[in-house]
Structure 1
Amino acid sequence: MKLTTAQFSITFARWSRIAAAVGGAVFLISMVTPLRGPLRVGVPVSVAFMALGAIGLYLALRGRHRRLELLGLVLAGVGLALGLVGMAGSASGVIDPNPWAPVINTGEHVGLVFIGAGMLTWGALALVTAWTSYSYGEPPPRS
């Protein structure tokens, strides 16, 4: 059975929700109980899973407002890339005596701001498009 592009987008968006939830759970666990040894790789993997969730969210919002979709994608993408690089550096043992440690740490924290800005943009897009379609008598969009 061959999937069409629309079927693939819907399937990917559904699986990306699970990936985002798993990534968020692993990230939360790593914040409560720091992962040590070989488990440290779980932190960058959690960010990669959350990136899959962001792509799925983008697919779910696709077609609503081109500029806001793209702005949210760029902001979240930059933030996730910075977070992934920072967490991969931390997981690989780049710590303070290394001159790259402050750069990686700063990038990781700036990445969180970008992720938040991208998610807020997509949240505003979802609310505005749901509100405008509802106010015109159409049901809110579903994914």
Structure 2
Amino acid sequence: MGHLRLPYVIEVLKIDIERGEFPAFLGAFRVAEKVHVQGSAYDELSLPERRALQTWAALRLANQVLIEVHGWNISATELDEFFYGFRRAGFGIFHKEPNLAWCCGECMEYGFLRLHDAFFEPELARLAQRSPFDQT
């Protein structure tokens, strides 16, 4: 749809992929970490990794994400990695509720909102704003 080219912004991204959210986003978060931490170049990535990086790029253009999460058959470690991935992408949870109508409470609806880095790292943001001429 052309959303991966700047200056486009996705105001609200609704995701409901029926148990596909963990494979899609864990893959995207892992590849983004690989590129960021290990410095892997795009041409060094496999085709599935490149597609996962496109998911990451689309997510980075969103201001708000609404996602239905199906939590059965997922380990606690993967669940933590999933939510930490959204946090690393700059999102905070502003809403959650069980989906009682269709999942009998076995899935949750989450709302994520893109927040400024200072929200997550207030001390680092405060230090970054200090003048190099400050003596204290």
Say which structure is richer in strand.
2
TM-score, with length taken from structure 1: 0.31
Higher helix fraction (1 or 2): 1
**TM-score normalised according to structure 2 size:** 0.33
